[in-house]
A and B are shown apart, each in its own frame.
Chain A
Amino acid sequence: MFKILKYSFFDLIRSRWTYIYCAFYALLTLSLFWLSSDLSKVIISLMNVILVLVPLIATIFGIMYYYNSREFTELLLAQPIKRTHIFLGQYLGVATSLSLSILIGVGLPFITYGIFGSAEIWNYFTLLLVGVFLSFIFSAIAFFIALKNENRIKGFGLAILVWLFFAVIYDGLFLLVLAMFSDYPLESFALGASMFNPIDLSRILILLKLDISALMGYTGAVFHKFLGSGLGLGIAFLSLVLWVVLPVLGIQRVSRRKDF
């Protein structure tokens, strides 16, 4: 598995798109620094971009990589290698190379601007961690969808739909429910509902760490209390980990049974 991981990883590292992706983040972060020297504001702006783009890029990258390397996969399948190892190796290769792009792209400009010793360092780590988690989650989902669907167009469409669901539609439904049941106390519901969407959960994790949490009023306070405690934070991260593990188990299951 490790060998395949290594192969996929280096294959992607050599790819032009990885560089463009990495350079995009570096440029974005640098220009944000150039526009504002306030670290907290830079983190908020970056968060807005990361929460939308990282899942989208991870989804597209994951699905494209699977479909493009299909012939090579078939070649590998003819070898005496465990099936799950092939797919997990490929998936991990994609996810790590994407994460590395974020870490370098966002991380380097921050380091050059002296993040160490700043009070914002934990917020910044949360941002990076969230970026990495989102890459792993959405490329896993993309791989799972690709494995399920032989038809490229269908697979691609489905993956984008899943991204759209988590990035936009989920919040819309969330808001709808909140508006419909506004006569009831909804804090616990809001808290629970946000656990089921990795993008929402990531956003709230970052926002609560920043000053802006004061705007969020009573609901914000409930979230703050929950996520401020060790248990709450543990549950939040467990939820993120589960979001990685579940699609990965799906990949394993499908790859074992799939008839090529």
Chain B
Amino acid sequence: MKKYFLLLTISLLAISIFAKTLEVCNSCEWTTITAAIKAAEKGDQLIIKAGIYKEGKIIVNKSLTISGEDYPILDGENKGEILTVLADNVTIEGLQIQNVGTSYMEDRAGIRIKRAKNFTIKNNRLYNTFFGIYLEHADKGIVQNNELIGEAVEEMSSGNAIHLWYCKNILIEKNIVRHHRDGIYLEFVDNSKVRFNISEDNLRYGLHFMFSNNDDYFKNEFRRNGAGVAVMFSKKINMWENAFEYNWGKASYGLLLKEIYDADIKNNVFKENTIGIYVEGSTRINYLDNDFVRNGWAIKISGGCLDNIISSNNFLYNTFDLSLNSSVNNNEFSGNFWSAYTGYDLDKNGIGDIPYRPVKLFNYVVNKTPEAMVLLRSLFIDIINFSEKVSPVFTPKKVVDNRPVMQKIEHIELFSLN
């Protein structure tokens, strides 16, 4: 044991002795980052002083720590990719990377990690980078505290802020991403965590999962994106305590689920989205303790969704609480609070004595003939909704909350930032 400890001490000492620090600035020994990387050896630290470095296509092929002092600017002058990391154990911090330039031929990025492990990308600012941080075939990395602000105008000619492709064990936290195509994009990414991020004003999705399994995302904020979050063709995704807000538009939703299995949607807030959650072909999903506040549709389920549990949620002032278009339904609704519930609780046990039916007749009508939507909020619709409520004929009989809660449910916070 002692021998090992000694060995460890010696090796640590060796690293601290042999690892050099190389400074890069206008008056330093190295004036370009490329030159410094060439001169550096494995384990060295590059300190880049404040200034503008008009260098693109920098290739990091050694295990280095590249740190910026006072945010030196790496300007790609719209000519191409800026930093490409090909080695393991690389740290990139404190840089301002800008102007990658749009390309229709290649996915240029501000920082690209390619087939590397154990990297850290933190405290950087990336402005107007086509793709911001692009990880491909990466493993065990951290992307933390970065600010990525793009200038996306249309989906065709824009890239994603943080893009992951075939990655494992990645932690993406406390980043701010704005004005890209997708805020955070994960394709074939397993065992990763996305947390405490803010993703706003992106053209397509705030966060986008494709073919990714066993991932968690929690405590993120998604606002004013084309659509909040899309989770597609993935398994075992945990979605906790996120805020999906103001995704308002003709084809917008807070959360899109498509072909998802065994997911957990807990303690999220869906506020003022055209559609809170849009679900297609998703099975064994638990919707627990969420707040749906003033959405057009709180949940819209279309086809082939089985064995879902929708329980202990607050449905507050949504235009429609629920919309379904299939009659086959074994999803369970129970113990939710519905602001539209008009029942009573005679035995004072906190649970309404008459069941609540979240699907209104108008909902059913609109599903059959979408044009009928022009009758929204007309007196006639109120009357038929009321008569249907009194004696249900058309609305699905099984879609019913038998234990509607009388009071708004207070949710307990699961995670905190510190």
Contact = CB atoms under 8 A, between A and B. Distances in A.
Mostly, the A contact residues are: helix
A172 B370 contact: no
A160 interface: no
Nearest to A189: B371
Given A168-B380, A214-B248, A214-B252, A219 B368 contact: no
B365 to A, nearest CB: 7
B369 A178 contact: yes
Interface string A202-214: 0110010001101
B6 interface: no
B369 A182 contact: yes
B296 A214 contact: yes
Interface residues of B, number: 24
Interface string B335-376: 000000000000000000000000000000100111111111
B380 A171 contact: yes
A241 to B, nearest CB: 22
Contacts of B297: 215
Contacts of B274: 214-215
B392 interface: no
A141 to B, nearest CB: 18
A187 interface: yes
A52 B297 CA distance: 25
B13 interface: no
A220 B374 contact: yes
A217 B370 contact: yes
Contact of A187 (B248, B250, B371): B371
A57 B326 CA distance: 43
Nearest to A36: B317
A221 B274 CA distance: 14
B373 A217 contact: yes
A51 interface: yes
Contacts of A77: none
A167 B379 CA distance: 7
Interface string A158-186: 00000000011111101100110010001
21 contacts: A44-B377, A51-B378, A51-B379, A170-B380, A171-B379, A179-B372, A186-B369, A186-B371, A194-B374, A204-B374, A207-B376, A212-B376, A214-B249, A214-B250, A214-B274, A214-B296, A215-B297, A216-B374, A217-B373, A219-B373, A220-B250
List the 8 closest A-B pairs by CB distance, nearest first. A171-B380, A215-B296, A182-B369, A186-B371, A219-B371, A216-B373, A178-B369, A168-B380
